[in-house]
Amino acid sequence: MIKDFSVVIAGGGSTFTPGIVMMMLENSDRFPMRELKLYDNDGDRQAVLGEALEILLKEQAPDLKFSYTTDPEEAFTDVDFVMAHIRVGKYEMREQDEKIPLKYGVVGQETCGPGGIAYGMRSITGMLEIIDHMETYSPDAWMLNYSNPAAIVAEACRVMRPDSKVLNICDMPVGTLRRMSQIIDKKPDELEVSYFGLNHFGWWTSVKDKESGHEYLDEIKEYVAENGYLTQVEVDTQHMDESWQATHKKAKDLLAIEPRFLPNTYLKYYFYPDYEVGTSNAAFTRANEVMAGREKDVFTAARNIIEKGTAVDGGFHIDSHASFIVDLARAIALNAKERMLLIVENNGAIANFDDDAMVEVPCIVGSGGPEPLAQGKIPEFERALMLQQVTVEKLVVQAYIEGSYQKLWQALSLSKIVPSAGVAKELLDDLIEVNKGYWPELK
């Protein structure tokens, strides 16, 4: 008999929170909850979503105990899982992460290059705080982290909290697998993939039918070579922003560089930075798009629910694709031996890559955590790219720990996205200025 779980969502004021709460209700037969809590350090922001969700849950799950708080003890006591989607500095700082690099003709993106480094330096403190709260008040709990930038956060956890029960997972491969399944008219759970890389920096080497073992890689590549990963189903049903449509289309150019494997779409920032900068609007970046779109929509819906006193026809949308979070929690709780892509310490999973690198590979997940599956040796081209990028991530974490200006300058200079050490230094000085109060002091 499956137990009823107690869950806290860290980052309760996130625009993703309502969709994830509704997804968990949809999966209550697979993952029953006795208590759900929201935790955020911005009480006013969280209260809007908390009050609306309280109304929704009274209507849809009256037996579920629900609360929202800014008090760590209240939030983290007696929980089985911490689901973390935090954004330190919120969208206002994301806007800086995107616009400052563009000023120098460099890609401005929340997880790649200078923007990702700046966001990573802010996120480490917040992530460590949440891990420490969990270990203080619920030492047996697991944290399921899907906060960006996952690569830097995962490296910081490896170095600074090596024994903590933290699983780092990303939704990007989940979304791409969904699009692959549409291309071949299958369901995602009918497919089994092999993949190697770093977070937002990898390649699929196999997409097989779970039942028959049939390999679909060539069939999918044929479609991607013409259309990228963009499918009409997604355009029609997901209300996809134009910037995301362009991202999925660009996969065809990534496949052209390396035709053996299917690429992660984020590789476009590393291979085509000139194209990305050329098509960016420095006055209205992705952060502005989100603030004018999803953020406005979610908080407007929440205020409407509060005003009406009912969530019927309330405007919150279920985030069904986030069900991977429930899959991961179930795998841990039930020792389900589920196969999932996670960000883990390599330790030989990629035979010719550093053991201490945080890589993204298929793992078998049970009650003891993830067991990475061997992906063999990888080609020289991918190995060299990954070594450059993972070294950037390691230098960022070292810079954070040591308060080292030098190491952060080196990280920016090594990034494939940044054209020179001179530009890296100017960028760094600008980023230090806007991140005062978020970053440790650098000397």
Q: In this structure, what is the dihedral angle of CA atoms 170, 171, 177, 178, given to the nearest 10 degrees?
A: 170
Q: Is 137 known to be catalytic?
A: no
Give strand ranges (E) for 302-416: 338-345, 358-366, 369-372
Residue 33 backbone phi and psi in degrees, to 5: -120, 145
Confirm whether residue 248 is marked as ligand binding.
Answer: no
In sequence order, which residues have a C-beta less than 8 Å from that of residue 264 and are 6 or more positions away?
A: 172, 173, 176, 197, 200, 201, 202, 203
The number of angstroms, rounded, from the C-alpha of 153 to the middle of its chain's C-alpha atoms is 10
Confirm whether residue 34 is marked as ligand binding.
Answer: no
Catalytic residue among 266, 269, 270, 400: 266
What is residue 347's three-state secondary structure?
coil
Catalytic residue among 4, 132, 171, 430: 171
What is residue 259's three-state secondary structure?
coil
43/373 Cα distance (integer angstroms): 42
User: Maximum CA pair distance of the chain?
Assistant: 61
Q: Is 266 known to be catalytic?
A: yes
- Letter string b/e over residues 217-244, b meaning 16 or more CB atoms within 10 A of that residue's CB: beebbebbeeebbbbeebeeeeeeeeeb
- Partnered with residue 262 across adjacent β-strands are 204
Confirm whether residue 200 is marked as ligand binding.
Answer: yes
Task: Choose among 105, 129, 396, 52: nearest CA to 273.
Answer: 105
Return binding residues for Mn(2+): 170, 200
What is the set of active-site residues? 171, 266
Return binding residues for substrate: 94, 148, 286
Return binding residues: 94, 148, 170, 200, 286
